[in-house]
Structure 1
């Protein structure tokens, strides 16, 4: 893909986005950001501002990878779709067909479709698994296999914050014999020329490259909520987790490290048929589950592996848009109607998505009516 914004279609939006980024950094609202936009396969925005590491003054560049928390789930979902494309599994293949132990406690009916729609019934990590265990693939998967579901698979949905990547990843590992980081590289980054832009686990040789994230404000410490489905560490993004060398290097496909340009380029390749064909794309982006999220309580409309709707809008207002937000404010989306792929990363972890919504709205307005 081109590495410079398209001069004809992107100049205006490039200038608008760059102006917003400069304003946000100038006012202190943000410290460092990247935004990339592809339109019908052409890079039309490639904008950065601020610092990647406020401790050293290292500047953000388009090549700076960011730990994007759940925005990285777009990579996980795509690997699942490529796994189905390969014929090794189907969306309705029971997880226990490949992973027999997972069928314990009534989870035998859970399928890959249920995993992709967060309806498998295991949204939370077992309580004896903490953030320090995330790098231990075998321990996490053993605990998930032995867990009792909170609901019968397929009957309800609830955000599978950290469990999602391990469920998809273990199915993929058992079907192919390869870990997610290897499948990401073989199926996506190398074919698209994006090696160094997308990671499930940053190689030790690249550990100096990622941005150093920072919390916008200290997390309030209160008594544990025994009624909460997710543990506090599963609910709230923390810079300490994102900056941990062990976590950065670990294959944890519930999260990911990426550049905005790289992950937008990946979604551009999804939209234009280079990774999955139009028939599968239509299948992937159709409504697959709709209901009340059992973790957060809001109404959700889910495609296979993605929430539907652009941030700040109702799902029915922007039904052709799919993607993921990342805790702390990052955002990645694609729109089949306009052929747009958008990504925004940032260093400051905020408890809101104001910056993401502002930039996404600006991008969507640019291409409204332009198919």
Structure 2
């Protein structure tokens, strides 16, 4: 008897999670060395209507969307217009205020600029107002000298990369995502910074799970509660969904896994730049959460549930509520999980990522 395929194994787990009530709606997609080996879904996309989850259903997935932002930063460097050592203030002079003149794109990508929190006069309702947010960030005083320490830049990250890119190209991040990624790869209906109004009805609807404790020694003092805790109200808000907010993203698991597969196989970036995606650029204690942070340019290094040094060829992002996207240069694996129930843990992501890694390891 043949052993179950990875597709079958993943589907069984997804069905079990939905049947037990641990999850409500999920998507998992996995590419391995050029092949789509998992494309599985389970549950419902919208509890209010009973609409079922499909592989074509985009899901607002919080910080997992940073994989798109970081990729655009690398593609921008690839144009030759800027480098990783280019100072942010060279393109965005206002940002040099209050001791931030030395901040570089490298510092932005390693979350070491020193502005992890949105200025206190910026709330969730202000996020669609790009000029207002960027003006506030330009005037912000850094918590540490740029490059000296690291601390998770939850919502500020996307605006810092995005305004830097806009000043360099004259284009907003949603336009760069289209021109450089979704149009070339045929993923226009799978990856979004700013969902067109005509596509809103296709989206999944998020649900709040049981909230967990806020991690970190002084997280409440650094980040506002709305920056720390994912909320369904934010991810279901139509103004937020339609806005260019590249600290978060809306996508299908199939689409984001296909994007990272194109990163791994050389269609989007060259081999040298791919190496930078797993080369540690900053290591230290995260000033927001208190954990050991091991960061490449734009991505944490290591697979969820493992120590970074155990899986040093893996890079990606988790999203508040339990979503997860990663790629592994050693095994040629691109993995993505989206989900509708916002859980305070990553148990589902760990289980499925471990299953995938076991099936598609170096000998696979």
TM-score by length of 2: 0.97
TM superposition shift of 1:30: 0.4
- Decide whether aligned partners of structure 1 residues 227 and 212 sit closer, same or farther in structure 2, where only a CA change above 3 A counts: closer
TM superposition shift of 1:218: 6.0
How far apart, CA to CA, are the structure 2 residues paired with 1:237 and 1:296? 15
1:288 maps to 281
TM superposition shift of 1:368: 1.6
How far apart, CA to CA, are the structure 2 residues paired with 1:128 and 1:220? 25
1:329 maps to 322
Q: Are positions 1:179 and 2:194 aligned together? A: no
Q: Are positions 1:188 and 2:152 aligned together? A: no
How far apart, CA to CA, are the structure 2 residues paired with 1:294 and 1:215? 27
**Contact map agreement 2:192 2:250 (CA 8 A) in 1:** yes
RMSD, matched Cα: 1.6
**Contact map agreement 1:118 1:158 (CA 8 A) in 2:** yes
2:340 maps to 347
**Contact map agreement 2:219 2:288 (CA 8 A) in 1:** no
Q: Are positions 1:125 and 2:125 aligned together? A: no
Q: Are positions 1:217 and 2:204 aligned together? A: no
- Name the SS for the 1:23 alignment partner: helix
How far apart, CA to CA, are the structure 1 residues paired with 2:213 and 2:74? 39
Comparing 277-286 and 180-189, the one that deviates more: 277-286
- Name the SS for the 1:241 alignment partner: helix
1:361 maps to which of 335, 354, 359: 354
**Contact map agreement 2:209 2:341 (CA 8 A) in 1:** yes
How far apart, CA to CA, are the structure 2 residues paired with 1:300 and 1:17? 30
Q: Which runs of 5+ in 2 are unaligned?
A: none
Q: Are positions 1:247 and 2:247 aligned together? A: no
2:91 maps to which of 92, 98, 101: 98
TM-score by length of 1: 0.95
2:231 maps to which of 227, 231, 238: 238
- Decide whether aligned partners of structure 1 residues 220 and 319 sit closer, same or farther in structure 2, where only a CA change above 3 A counts: closer
Q: Are positions 1:274 and 2:267 aligned together? A: yes
How far apart, CA to CA, are the structure 2 residues paired with 1:322 and 1:220? 26
- Name the SS for the 1:154 alignment partner: coil
**Contact map agreement 1:38 1:340 (CA 8 A) in 2:** yes
2:71 maps to 78
How far apart, CA to CA, are the structure 2 residues paired with 1:40 and 1:123? 36
TM superposition shift of 1:226: 9.2
- The number of equivalent residue pairs is 360
2:293 maps to which of 300, 309, 331: 300
**Contact map agreement 2:219 2:289 (CA 8 A) in 1:** no
Comparing 281-290 and 60-69, the one that deviates more: 281-290
How far apart, CA to CA, are the structure 1 residues paired with 2:358 and 2:279? 23
TM superposition shift of 1:196: 0.5
- The one-character-per-residue Cα deviations of 1:41-99 (angstroms, maximum 9, x if unpaired) are 21000000000001110000000000000000000000000000011110000000000
1:137 maps to which of 130, 148, 153: 130
- Name the SS for the 1:365 alignment partner: helix
Q: Which runs of 5+ in 1 are unaligned?
A: 1-7
